[in-house]
Amino acid sequence: MELTLREFWTVIHGMGLGALFLLAFAGGLAGLWSLRSELVTAGGVRERLPRLEVGTWVMAVVAWLTVVSGTYLVYPWYRAKVPTSPRSILLADPSRAEWHNFGMEWKEHVAWLAPILATAVAYVVIYYGPRLAHEPRIRKALIVLFVLAFAAAGVAGVFGAFINKVAPTA
């Protein structure tokens, strides 16, 4: 049960960091959704807010680590100009070329939207603190940004998983 260095970092990037972001999304969304003055007492807001603040900032940091590790560690191995690189393997087979031309080309770009949007959410959560429960318009905007960050990360995660299945970074 050995992993090469490249396989190890590919796992860290995708199954470690990327998966952590996607899984934490559910908790963050529930936290934002339920932070309403009509649903939670002042004490409840005080109890939930630290969790939401830590959670959104951890997600933002994890998103940054995911895209940086992907772009600067895994991606160079993927696109190396050698016949055995995943990119070369995919493009050499017309039946698999679209995994690169569509899948990877979309994934490598759209993923970077996730940390930018997630950071905005985390900042605004910290900025408003308990008053966020009384700012429905701001909270709704944060939920939308949060969902869009998840969508971007989700696209990147799905295509990353499939591409690594079809042409592993070994």
Partner 1 sequence: MSIQTTTTQPDDRAVATEPMVRPVPLAAPRPSGPAAAAVLAAGIGSFTLGLMVVLSEASAAVGAALTWSAAVGPLSGKTGVTVLVWLVAWLALGLAWKGRDVDFGKVWTATLVLIVLGFLGTFPLFFDLFAAG
Segment lying near partner 1 (by CB under 8 A), choices 8-16, 27-35, 89-97, 144-152: 144-152
Q: How far is CA 36 from CA 25, 47, 48, in A?
A: 19, 13, 11
Output the CA angle 165-117-112, nearest 5 degrees.
40
CB nearer to partner 1: pick between 11 and 123: 123
Segment lying near partner 1 (by CB under 8 A), choices 18-26, 50-58, 88-96, 116-124: 116-124
Regarding 72 and contact with partner 1 (CB under 8 A), the answer is yes
Segment lying near partner 1 (by CB under 8 A), choices 6-14, 19-27, 49-57, 115-123: 115-123
Q: Which pair of structure tokens corresponds to residue 116?
A: 């930018």
Counting residues that bind partner 1 (by CB under 8 A) gives: 36
The residues in 34-53 that bind partner 1, with binding defined as CB under 8 A, are 41-42
Rounded-to-integer distance, Cα 141 and Cα 89, Å: 42
Q: Which pair of structure tokens corresponds to residue 164?
A: 């690594």
Regarding 130 and contact with partner 1 (CB under 8 A), the answer is yes
Regarding 128 and contact with partner 1 (CB under 8 A), the answer is yes
- Of 117, 120, 107, residue with least CA distance to 150: 117
Regarding 10 and contact with partner 1 (CB under 8 A), the answer is no
Give me the least distance between CB of 97 and partner 1, in Å please.
Answer: 12
Regarding 129 and contact with partner 1 (CB under 8 A), the answer is yes
Please tell me the total number of residues recorded for the chain in this structure.
Answer: 170
Q: Are 7 and 71 in contact (CB under 8 A)?
A: no
Q: Which pair of structure tokens corresponds to residue 145?
A: 């940004």
